[in-house]
Amino acid sequence: MAMESDSARPHREVLLAGEPLKAKRHLCAFFRTVDEEYELLLPFIRDGVELGERAFHIVDPAQRDSHFDRLERGGIDAATAAQRDQLEVRVWDEAYLRAGRFDADAMLALIQEVLDGGKLKGFPLTRLIAHMEWALDDRPGVTELVEYETRLNYVLPMYDDPVICTYDLARFGAGTVIDILRTHPTVIVGGIVQDNPFFVPPDELLRELGQRTGESALT
């Protein structure tokens, strides 16, 4: 799949944890507690809102109200931002688990729709944050998580918009964490944003995943 070179176009500056994000803006963020997560992400969300950018969040339906509460306590007028369509918060069944299952193709299309839609609405950038614990639900398709994350690397280089996938280290197994780490060019661990030396380009990782599937089918 052809992609525009990261260096072929200018990038709007985005700061996260006090550091400017580079061109590769598909990030995985690993946290051990909810407080640790919001301590890092609230300033990032607030900065975007203050700069006139759009915030799009995908959260656990059980945490939707508390998410709005944390935004408000973090200095973000979430109600006003939502009224003017600068903030949109969806729950998993409105995004990853539509129709009761996970469909990677449908979700990749939705990500592009959201990022393109932000521009059409007049916002210079969309800061997208997605809580990924939906993949722990017993739903059809959730085993496609790693394939989906690596396929995002065909899509997101076409956009300046940062997309942060957050993972609770207390809930995901070590094997899944390692695979997820390999699908993101930028990683946040311990509150530090860094280039990911373990990142594997999507063509290579998809071949590996295909080999795993073939091997498992034979055993």
Residue 3 included in any domain = no
Predicted local confidence at residue 215, as pLDDT: 52
Per the structure, the count of domains in the chain is 1
Whether the pLDDT of residue 214 is over 90: the answer is no
In a domain, residue 194? The reply is: yes
What is the structure's pLDDT at 102?
Answer: 98
How does pLDDT run across 51-100, given as a tens digit for each residue?
999 999 999 999 999 999 999 999 999 999 999 999 999 999 999 999 99
Residue type, 72: E
Looking at the DSSP bridge assignments, the partners of residue 167 are 30
pLDDT above 60 for 130: yes
- CATH code for the domain in which residue 148 is found: 3.40.50.300
The set of residues, in sequence order, having a beta carbon less than 8 Å from that of 124 and lying 6+ positions away, is 12, 51, 52, 53
Residue 134 lies in a domain: yes
Q: Report pTM.
A: 0.92
**Closest-CA residue to 163 (of 97, 118, 219, 198):** 118
For residue 216, the Cα-to-chain-centroid distance in whole angstroms is 29
pLDDT digit string, tens, across residues 152-161 = 999 999 999 9
N- to C-terminal Cα separation, the chain: 32
Least confident window among 18-22, 33-37, 65-69, 168-172: 18-22
Q: Could you tell me how far CA 71 lies from the centroid of its own chain?
A: 18
Within a domain: residue 7? Answer: no
Quick one: pLDDT band at residue 212, thresholds 50, 70, 90?
Answer: confident
Q: Angle at CA 73, nearest 5°, toward 71 and 76? A: 50
Instruction: Provide the percentage of residues in the chain whose pLDDT is more than 90.
Output: 89
Residue whose structure tokens are 């072929």: 8
Is 19 part of any domain?
A: no
Nearest to 41 by CA among 106, 171, 159, 131: 131
Mean pLDDT of 183-194: 94
In a domain? residue 13:
no
Residue 216 has pLDDT above 80, yes or no: no
Rounded distance between C-alpha atoms, residue 23 and residue 12, angstroms? 9
Domain of 40 in residue numbering reads as 25-218
Confidence band for 4, pLDDT divided at 50, 70 and 90: very low
Residue 172 in domain = yes
Residue 198 confidence (pLDDT) above 50 = yes
Phi-psi label, residue 75: left if phi above 0, alpha if psi -120 to 50, beta otherwise: left
Are 55 and 49 spatial neighbours (Cβ–Cβ below 8 Å)? yes
In a domain, 8, yes or no: no
pLDDT band at 20 (very low <50, low <70, confident <90, very high): very high
